[in-house]
A and B are shown apart, each in its own frame.
Chain A
Amino acid sequence: MAQTRSPSPASRHGAAHASPAVIGAGTRIRGRLTGDGDVTILGHLEGGVQVRGELFIGEGGRVVSDVDAGALRVAGVLEGDVSVTGDIAMLAGARVRGDLHGAHVSLEEGADFEGRLDCEFDLPSELGTAATTTHARSARR
């Protein structure tokens, strides 16, 4: 007889595997967030983030914390050091302060980044070594 009042979008898709999380624009978290799936932050988070999937910081989102994630996309504000196994994308409107470590980093026009970039990429075979590190003191496109 007791029924869930309104099925949330997440439960409609089923939660067979790690289901995504959305921290809405009006939500503030002071503490650590850990997760198996993808996390979208449109609100504020201060503390720590460790997700196995992709962390997306939307426009208006603000994360003041170190980030440990599978992938990272930023269109909002991020202050903290980042360690990502996959790709880092800083989109237009992003404002990022911190040291980033990822497999592949992209900066869109309009992204504002200050910090260090530490990533591995393959150089053309003429140049020899397979891994190198790039330090960018202040990259503003």
Chain B
Amino acid sequence: MASTVIGAGITIEGEVSADDEIVVQGTIRGKLEAREGVTVEAGGVVEADIVSGPLTVAGSITGNITSSDRVDLQSGARVVGNVKATRITIADGAQFKGNVDMDV
């Protein structure tokens, strides 16, 4: 699968929907739907609800996350929003505010 990289100087305001893997180093505001994985790198900012496969966060997400797979919050991550996932890790140093629903 090809991959989409939203570079550090890039801002997208609107709806992004992808069959590719997405790496966010810049900013997305609006809505993000990805069939594959999403990585929000340190410095990346997502102000949007996210629907994705596996999600790895080292940057900032403000919005609800619905993942069909795992969600990993790394040190430095800042997530404000509810998370729905099958598995989740929150590393020491990650900041998180929201509910977690693992469909138990």
Instruction: Give A contacts to B, CB under 8 Å.
Output: 1-5, 8-11, 15, 18-37, 39, 42-43, 47, 52
Given contacts A4-B56, A24-B2, A31-B13, contact A19 B18 (CB under 8 A): no
Q: A-B pairs with CB below 8 Å: how many?
A: 122
Q: Are B4 and A34 in contact (CB under 8 A)?
A: no
Q: What CA separation (Å) do A22 and B5 show in the bound complex? A: 5
Nearest CB of A to B40, in Å: 11
Q: Are B12 and A32 in contact (CB under 8 A)?
A: yes
> Which chain A residue has the least Cβ–Cβ distance from B12?
A33
Instruction: Give B contacts to A, CB under 8 Å.
Output: 1-20, 22-23, 25-26, 30, 35, 39, 41, 43, 56, 58, 72, 74-75, 91-94
Nearest CB of A to B51, in Å: 14
Given contacts A2-B93, A25-B2, contact A35 B7 (CB under 8 A): yes
Nearest CB of B to A36, in Å: 3
